[in-house]
Amino acid sequence: MFIDSHCHLDFPQFENLPRLIDSCLGVGVTDFLVPGTTEESWHRIIQMAKLHPQIRIALGLHPYFLDDKLSLDSCLEQLECHLMEVPTVAVGEIGLDKWSGMPNYSLQYEVLIEQLKLAKKWKLPVIFHSRKSEDDLLKALRIVNFEYGGVVHAFNGSYEQAKRFIDQGFVLGIGGTITYPRAQKARRVLKSLTDQDFVLETDAPDMPLCGHQGQPNSPLRVRDVAQQVSILREQPVGLVAQYTSANLKRVLPNWHRV
Protein backbone atom coordinates (compact mmCIF):
# COMPACT_ATOMS: atom_id res chain seq x y z
CA MET A 1 0.00 0.00 0.00
CA PHE A 2 1.33 3.43 -0.94
CA ILE A 3 1.31 6.73 0.95
CA ASP A 4 1.65 10.05 -0.84
CA SER A 5 3.63 11.98 1.76
CA HIS A 6 3.18 15.33 0.01
CA CYS A 7 0.22 16.42 -2.11
CA HIS A 8 -1.76 19.66 -2.20
CA LEU A 9 -5.24 18.20 -2.42
CA ASP A 10 -6.76 21.57 -1.45
CA PHE A 11 -5.59 23.16 -4.73
CA PRO A 12 -8.31 23.95 -7.30
CA GLN A 13 -7.11 21.19 -9.67
CA PHE A 14 -8.73 18.64 -7.33
CA GLU A 15 -12.36 19.68 -7.51
CA ASN A 16 -13.80 16.18 -7.06
CA LEU A 17 -11.83 14.95 -4.09
CA PRO A 18 -14.12 12.05 -3.06
CA ARG A 19 -13.78 10.58 -6.55
CA LEU A 20 -10.01 11.06 -6.59
CA ILE A 21 -9.61 9.37 -3.20
CA ASP A 22 -11.78 6.47 -4.41
CA SER A 23 -9.60 6.04 -7.49
CA CYS A 24 -6.49 6.14 -5.31
CA LEU A 25 -7.85 3.52 -2.91
CA GLY A 26 -8.68 1.37 -5.95
CA VAL A 27 -4.98 1.23 -6.90
CA GLY A 28 -3.55 0.89 -3.40
CA VAL A 29 -2.76 4.55 -2.61
CA THR A 30 -4.31 4.59 0.84
CA ASP A 31 -3.10 7.68 2.73
CA PHE A 32 -2.15 11.27 2.02
CA LEU A 33 -0.28 14.02 3.78
CA VAL A 34 -1.55 17.47 2.80
CA PRO A 35 0.65 20.37 3.97
CA GLY A 36 -0.57 23.93 4.45
CA THR A 37 0.65 26.78 2.29
CA THR A 38 -1.03 30.04 3.38
CA GLU A 39 -3.16 31.15 6.30
CA GLU A 40 -6.22 30.84 4.02
CA SER A 41 -5.33 27.23 3.21
CA TRP A 42 -5.41 26.11 6.85
CA HIS A 43 -9.19 26.22 7.21
CA ARG A 44 -9.64 24.36 3.90
CA ILE A 45 -7.35 21.50 4.79
CA ILE A 46 -8.63 21.20 8.36
CA GLN A 47 -12.14 20.69 6.94
CA MET A 48 -10.78 18.24 4.38
CA ALA A 49 -9.15 16.09 7.06
CA LYS A 50 -12.42 16.00 9.00
CA LEU A 51 -14.24 14.64 5.94
CA HIS A 52 -11.58 12.16 4.81
CA PRO A 53 -9.90 9.91 7.37
CA GLN A 54 -7.22 9.02 4.79
CA ILE A 55 -5.86 12.59 4.96
CA ARG A 56 -3.30 13.75 7.53
CA ILE A 57 -2.36 17.41 7.59
CA ALA A 58 0.47 19.77 8.45
CA LEU A 59 -0.03 23.50 8.97
CA GLY A 60 2.44 26.19 8.07
CA LEU A 61 3.41 29.10 5.82
CA HIS A 62 5.05 28.06 2.55
CA PRO A 63 7.93 30.37 1.53
CA TYR A 64 6.80 30.53 -2.10
CA PHE A 65 3.41 32.03 -1.19
CA LEU A 66 4.66 34.60 1.35
CA ASP A 67 3.06 37.98 1.07
CA ASP A 68 5.11 41.10 1.93
CA LYS A 69 2.02 42.46 3.67
CA LEU A 70 1.86 39.42 5.93
CA SER A 71 1.20 40.30 9.54
CA LEU A 72 3.49 37.70 11.00
CA ASP A 73 2.57 37.97 14.67
CA SER A 74 -1.16 37.45 14.19
CA CYS A 75 -0.48 34.69 11.68
CA LEU A 76 1.77 32.83 14.12
CA GLU A 77 -0.82 33.27 16.86
CA GLN A 78 -3.44 31.74 14.58
CA LEU A 79 -1.09 28.89 13.68
CA GLU A 80 -0.43 28.13 17.32
CA CYS A 81 -4.19 28.06 18.08
CA HIS A 82 -4.69 25.51 15.30
CA LEU A 83 -1.74 23.41 16.49
CA MET A 84 -3.33 23.24 19.93
CA GLU A 85 -6.80 22.35 18.70
CA VAL A 86 -6.45 20.39 15.48
CA PRO A 87 -4.74 17.02 15.03
CA THR A 88 -1.69 17.76 12.89
CA VAL A 89 1.33 15.56 12.17
CA ALA A 90 3.82 18.38 11.52
CA VAL A 91 4.44 22.07 10.98
CA GLY A 92 4.67 22.59 7.24
CA GLU A 93 5.19 23.30 4.55
CA ILE A 94 7.90 25.67 5.71
CA GLY A 95 11.34 26.44 4.34
CA LEU A 96 13.35 28.51 1.91
CA ASP A 97 13.11 29.02 -1.82
CA LYS A 98 16.18 30.52 -3.48
CA TRP A 99 14.75 30.42 -6.98
CA SER A 100 15.83 33.59 -8.79
CA GLY A 101 12.27 34.91 -9.03
CA MET A 102 11.89 35.02 -5.24
CA PRO A 103 12.76 38.48 -3.93
CA ASN A 104 12.04 38.16 -0.22
CA TYR A 105 14.67 35.76 1.08
CA SER A 106 15.21 37.59 4.37
CA LEU A 107 11.46 37.54 5.09
CA GLN A 108 11.41 33.83 4.20
CA TYR A 109 14.22 33.24 6.66
CA GLU A 110 12.49 35.15 9.47
CA VAL A 111 9.21 33.28 8.91
CA LEU A 112 11.09 29.96 8.82
CA ILE A 113 12.87 30.61 12.13
CA GLU A 114 9.62 31.62 13.88
CA GLN A 115 7.84 28.51 12.64
CA LEU A 116 10.74 26.27 13.67
CA LYS A 117 10.53 27.77 17.16
CA LEU A 118 6.79 27.04 17.24
CA ALA A 119 7.34 23.44 16.10
CA LYS A 120 9.96 23.05 18.81
CA LYS A 121 7.60 24.44 21.46
CA TRP A 122 4.90 21.91 20.45
CA LYS A 123 7.41 19.09 19.89
CA LEU A 124 6.29 18.63 16.28
CA PRO A 125 8.36 17.57 13.26
CA VAL A 126 8.46 19.84 10.20
CA ILE A 127 7.87 19.45 6.46
CA PHE A 128 10.64 21.37 4.66
CA HIS A 129 10.43 23.02 1.28
CA SER A 130 13.90 23.53 -0.11
CA ARG A 131 15.02 25.00 -3.39
CA LYS A 132 18.77 25.60 -3.63
CA SER A 133 18.70 26.31 0.10
CA GLU A 134 19.72 23.05 1.82
CA ASP A 135 22.70 24.57 3.65
CA ASP A 136 20.63 27.51 4.91
CA LEU A 137 17.97 25.10 6.22
CA LEU A 138 20.63 23.09 8.05
CA LYS A 139 21.92 26.34 9.52
CA ALA A 140 18.41 27.29 10.68
CA LEU A 141 18.06 23.89 12.41
CA ARG A 142 21.28 24.60 14.31
CA ILE A 143 20.26 28.14 15.28
CA VAL A 144 16.93 26.98 16.72
CA ASN A 145 18.53 23.81 18.09
CA PHE A 146 15.65 21.90 16.54
CA GLU A 147 15.58 18.18 17.24
CA TYR A 148 12.20 16.83 16.11
CA GLY A 149 13.17 15.96 12.54
CA GLY A 150 10.62 15.57 9.75
CA VAL A 151 10.63 15.39 5.96
CA VAL A 152 12.72 17.34 3.44
CA HIS A 153 10.16 17.34 0.66
CA ALA A 154 11.32 17.01 -3.00
CA PHE A 155 14.91 16.67 -1.88
CA ASN A 156 17.31 17.68 -4.62
CA GLY A 157 20.59 18.24 -2.79
CA SER A 158 23.86 16.35 -2.63
CA TYR A 159 24.55 13.08 -0.82
CA GLU A 160 26.51 15.02 1.85
CA GLN A 161 23.53 17.31 2.48
CA ALA A 162 21.22 14.27 2.56
CA LYS A 163 23.41 12.68 5.22
CA ARG A 164 23.36 15.82 7.35
CA PHE A 165 19.54 15.98 7.27
CA ILE A 166 19.28 12.26 8.04
CA ASP A 167 21.64 12.70 11.00
CA GLN A 168 19.19 15.33 12.31
CA GLY A 169 16.25 12.90 12.24
CA PHE A 170 14.89 13.75 8.79
CA VAL A 171 13.83 11.57 5.87
CA LEU A 172 13.96 12.75 2.26
CA GLY A 173 10.89 13.09 0.05
CA ILE A 174 11.46 11.30 -3.27
CA GLY A 175 9.10 12.25 -6.11
CA GLY A 176 8.74 12.62 -9.86
CA THR A 177 12.24 14.05 -10.41
CA ILE A 178 13.78 10.58 -10.41
CA THR A 179 11.55 9.50 -13.32
CA TYR A 180 13.59 11.77 -15.63
CA PRO A 181 16.66 10.03 -17.09
CA ARG A 182 18.54 13.36 -17.05
CA ALA A 183 18.20 13.56 -13.22
CA GLN A 184 21.53 11.78 -12.79
CA LYS A 185 22.45 13.40 -9.49
CA ALA A 186 19.05 12.71 -7.84
CA ARG A 187 19.20 9.10 -9.05
CA ARG A 188 22.74 8.64 -7.71
CA VAL A 189 21.73 10.05 -4.31
CA LEU A 190 18.68 7.75 -4.18
CA LYS A 191 20.83 4.69 -4.90
CA SER A 192 23.23 5.51 -2.09
CA LEU A 193 20.54 5.93 0.61
CA THR A 194 19.51 3.16 3.01
CA ASP A 195 15.93 1.83 3.20
CA GLN A 196 15.36 3.98 6.31
CA ASP A 197 16.20 7.30 4.68
CA PHE A 198 13.33 8.31 2.40
CA VAL A 199 9.59 8.48 1.71
CA LEU A 200 7.49 8.69 -1.48
CA GLU A 201 5.62 11.76 -2.69
CA THR A 202 4.11 13.40 -5.76
CA ASP A 203 3.79 17.11 -4.82
CA ALA A 204 0.58 16.99 -6.90
CA PRO A 205 -0.63 19.04 -8.72
CA ASP A 206 2.98 20.15 -9.30
CA MET A 207 6.10 18.27 -10.45
CA PRO A 208 4.66 16.10 -13.25
CA LEU A 209 6.38 12.78 -13.87
CA CYS A 210 8.39 12.08 -17.00
CA GLY A 211 5.96 11.50 -19.87
CA HIS A 212 3.23 13.58 -18.21
CA GLN A 213 4.69 17.07 -18.63
CA GLY A 214 2.06 19.76 -19.06
CA GLN A 215 -0.59 17.82 -17.12
CA PRO A 216 -1.50 18.32 -13.47
CA ASN A 217 0.19 15.71 -11.31
CA SER A 218 -1.97 13.36 -9.22
CA PRO A 219 -1.43 11.29 -6.06
CA LEU A 220 -2.36 8.28 -8.22
CA ARG A 221 1.17 8.56 -9.65
CA VAL A 222 2.92 7.85 -6.35
CA ARG A 223 2.84 4.24 -7.59
CA ASP A 224 4.91 5.25 -10.62
CA VAL A 225 7.43 6.94 -8.33
CA ALA A 226 7.62 3.71 -6.30
CA GLN A 227 8.06 1.73 -9.51
CA GLN A 228 11.00 3.90 -10.54
CA VAL A 229 12.56 3.58 -7.08
CA SER A 230 12.16 -0.17 -7.35
CA ILE A 231 13.99 -0.22 -10.70
CA LEU A 232 16.82 2.08 -9.58
CA ARG A 233 17.38 0.28 -6.26
CA GLU A 234 16.69 -3.21 -7.64
CA GLN A 235 14.10 -4.00 -4.96
CA PRO A 236 10.53 -5.35 -5.26
CA VAL A 237 8.01 -2.49 -5.42
CA GLY A 238 6.05 -4.01 -2.51
CA LEU A 239 9.12 -3.77 -0.32
CA VAL A 240 9.65 -0.12 -1.32
CA ALA A 241 6.02 0.66 -0.42
CA GLN A 242 6.40 -1.10 2.92
CA TYR A 243 9.56 0.57 4.16
CA THR A 244 8.74 4.07 2.86
CA SER A 245 5.36 3.96 4.66
CA ALA A 246 7.07 2.79 7.86
CA ASN A 247 9.64 5.60 7.53
CA LEU A 248 6.95 8.26 7.27
CA LYS A 249 5.13 6.98 10.37
CA ARG A 250 8.43 6.84 12.25
CA VAL A 251 9.34 10.50 11.64
CA LEU A 252 5.75 11.69 12.19
CA PRO A 253 4.87 10.08 15.55
CA ASN A 254 1.38 11.69 15.59
CA TRP A 255 0.43 9.73 12.47
CA HIS A 256 -1.55 7.13 14.42
CA ARG A 257 -2.88 9.57 17.01
CA VAL A 258 -4.83 11.74 14.61
Where on the chain is the footprint of Zn ion (CB under 5 A)? 93
Residue 62 Cβ vs Zn ion, minimum distance, rounded to whole Å: 7
Residue 153 Cβ vs Zn ion, minimum distance, rounded to whole Å: 6
Report how far residue 189's alpha carbon sits from residue 201's, in angstroms, rounded to the nearest whole number. 16
Residues forming beta bridges with residue 34, ordered by sequence position? 57
Q: Which residue is nearest to Zn ion (CB)?
A: 93
Residue 32 Cβ vs Zn ion, minimum distance, rounded to whole Å: 12
Question: Is the CB of 80 or the CB of 206 nearer to Zn ion?
Answer: 206
Question: Is the CB of 93 or the CB of 134 nearer to Zn ion?
Answer: 93
Residue 239 Cβ vs Zn ion, minimum distance, rounded to whole Å: 27
Closest CA to 75 of 28, 40, 33: 40
Question: Is the CB of 12 or the CB of 236 nearer to Zn ion?
Answer: 12
Question: Is the CB of 9 or the CB of 75 nearer to Zn ion?
Answer: 9
Q: Do the Cβ atoms of 127 and 60 come closer than 8 Å? A: yes
3-state secondary structure of 53: coil
Reading phi first (left if > 0) and then psi (alpha if -120 to 50, else beta), residue 54 is in alpha
Q: Which helix (H) or strand (E) holds 109?
A: helix 105-121
- Known binding-site residue numbers for a divalent metal cation: 6, 8, 93, 129, 153, 203
